Amino acid sequence: MEPSYFKHHVFFCLNQRDQPNECCANHQAKASFQHCKIRIKEEGLNGQGGVRINQAGCLDRCAGGPVLVVYPEAVWYSYVDQHDLDEIIDSHLKQGQIVERLRLPDSVGR
């Protein structure tokens, strides 16, 4: 099987929902997305064979927000701040080690 164009593909939910519905946009998701893009570039991890950071609409896991998902492993994370994102970058994206404490339980949905 051919290797994927990117080693990791990260999707950030940036969806905005009408109040009172919960959504990732209410939890600084856009700023977190930007932080992650900058860090990946600074680390030289972007581009073919590296990491691609993408924004997404609703990923349907609103109750766990803010959320991101890393492919090809299909690992879902919930994060609180930039320190959590840095841990995902340093552990999962650089070393291949899933950050268990930030994993979103499968039972969390909308």
Domain for residue 96, yes or no? yes
The model's pLDDT over 47-56, given as tens digits with 9 standing for 90+, comes to: 999 999 999 9
Q: State the residue range of the domain holding 35.
A: 8-102
pLDDT of 1 higher than 70: no
More confident residue, 106 or 110: 106
Residues sharing a CB contact under 8 Å with residue 86, sequence separation 6 or more, in sequence order: 39
Give the total number of structural domains in the chain.
1
Asked, for residue 28, whether it belongs to a domain, the answer is yes
**CA 102 – CA 76 distance, rounded (Å):** 8
The 10s digit of each residue's pLDDT in 13-26 is: 999 888 777 888 88
